[in-house]
Structure 1
């Protein structure tokens, strides 16, 4: 098989998917159509419609765009079939029904932002950082009936420094995803559409624990200060800069305010009671289960994001506050 024999439908929505689509276009792959989410209403009155980042790129490069509301819609399925793709590539998109993923002769492969079978689910980057992993990566695998369980084609690792937040890992995996997609396509071409792939069950060491990566909601982001400082530290960077870990700050007179925390540092200082506040080196600190965490970047509800020193300039007697 040669590159020109591949007719590819690309499926993706957010910024994370754009470098992979760009890599396909710039390497002269035949992308016959792009499938992305419908435009979303934005603005105060929800009257403006905002296209996805993938749609913007596709239109700029004259690629046909499909935006189904329901993936099983018969009209969409027939329209998709009309492009006669023999391969589909998926990056950061919704779950596909069998009638869609099983349509091409060479199947549908997904670029997933984790080293499967670890971190199956919608938020693998966040959860890898939250759990304090020192390594994650990207995986290409063929879609099947269950989410993120298909046969693995390739994997590429990516190191997570202890100081890295989600933005750092997101950017790294976004570009690594484009690389692994191109290498996966080379394998598919070399194998006439049927590359070697490995069942995920064979990649699970005996007795190992699999971590899931479910979708993150506001409740997920609440900080549990009963944990050791290292776990709280990882939790905060695993949600920074978005959606942001939060806690409730209670003033001496009992007023409660939501406080988002984006960056902390471990102090090694074990003084104070759980959930109590302190000031060290003119920076706010909060006591976790075993030590104080220094708050480097934070945001009070209704205010701008700021560093810890600026925050203290605008609040009196911070060390008399508590965390709820």
Structure 2
């Protein structure tokens, strides 16, 4: 194990795990890991998120603070005497944490900064119909996601890709970019550069997605807007609509996978057209054909199984 630098790794999601594993297998000296507290259901089942599992398996010291300014946590944290910190998918750090190491704290963000600052860059890139996104490493500073850029890597967004598929593609290359950034800093081969200044009209943000953001508005003028929203929220948190069987009988309906069909028609917007193998929803420029969905109270299903469970076949609509 390399003695220098002493690294504290900070991360909480499966996305974080790929960078942690890359660093550890390359024999970098990870002196401690900070991750989120266990949810109650994890404590009962005695299984944990991948970052914590990896820390326990490899006997790496671990802290799971509820409060990052708690005196007990800060005392234990400073005992690690970190030279540098690496953050991948974690909440906002207070200055007392990110400013502590003499070599700084750098973060990996899943967008090409300054575009898509925020908690959900992968989702919003697809929702907004981007053709490319990427990864950025940057030194953390006072303003969120606004520090000097170290490295960037561009990634193509395929036209039918979902957020889940794009995340899987990005996380497989995330560890190598973190490693390249660390080595560049150590060898003094990277010159941090300020983020580009972009006019507010062109700047896109990636705030945390709320349930209301997930609601499908079928009256949208573009079929592409609806299509991008569904794939940008798949598989999580998932796009949803209200499926009406009659005016007084309705359920929430999550939609995970669809295809778009451009075709002129005279059907009212939101009408659900069922056959034994297909569910089409009429929109202004054609139809959205549902391939996988979940009716409230039931499991996620392929469209064939979902249709088999619908007893009422006429006068269905969504809104």
Q: TM-score, normalised by structure 2?
A: 0.94
Residue 314 (structure 1) aligns with: 309
Cα distance in 2, alignment partners of residues 318 and 199 from structure 1: 58
Q: How does 1:106-121 map to 2 (within 5 A)?
A: 106-121=103-118
Residue 139 (structure 1) aligns with: 136
Cα distance in 2, alignment partners of residues 319 and 297 from structure 1: 20
- Post-superposition Cα deviations, 1:63-91, rounded to whole Å, max 9, x if no partner, equal 00011111111221221111111100000
Q: 1:259–1:299: 8 Å Cα contact kept in structure 2?
A: yes
1:69–1:50 Cα change, 3 Å: farther
Listed as ranges, the gaps of 5+ residues in structure 1 are none
Kindly state the Cα deviation for residue 307 of structure 1 after the two structures are TM-superposed. 1.9
Kindly state the Cα deviation for residue 207 of structure 1 after the two structures are TM-superposed. 7.4
- Post-superposition Cα deviations, 1:266-315, rounded to whole Å, max 9, x if no partner, equal 11123211111223683111122322111111110111111222222222
Aligned residues: 316
Cα distance in 1, alignment partners of residues 200 and 309 from structure 2: 51
Question: Runs ≥4 in structure 1, deviation > 6 angstroms?
Answer: none
- Post-superposition Cα deviations, 1:252-274, rounded to whole Å, max 9, x if no partner, equal 35301000001111111232111
Of 231, 244, 247 in structure 1, the residue corresponding to residue 241 of structure 2 is 247
Of 67, 80, 83 in structure 1, the residue corresponding to residue 64 of structure 2 is 67
Residue 229 (structure 1) aligns with: 223
Of 158, 161, 169 in structure 1, the residue corresponding to residue 166 of structure 2 is 169
Cα distance in 2, alignment partners of residues 318 and 229 from structure 1: 24
- Post-superposition Cα deviations, 1:219-251, rounded to whole Å, max 9, x if no partner, equal 221111121211111100111111111000011
SS of residue matched to 1:318: coil
Cα distance in 2, alignment partners of residues 177 and 215 from structure 1: 21
- 258-267 or 49-58: which moved more? 49-58
Residue 6 (structure 2) aligns with: 7
Residue 211 (structure 2) aligns with: 218
Listed as ranges, the gaps of 5+ residues in structure 2 are none
Of 248, 251, 268 in structure 1, the residue corresponding to residue 262 of structure 2 is 268
1:68–1:30 Cα change, 3 Å: same
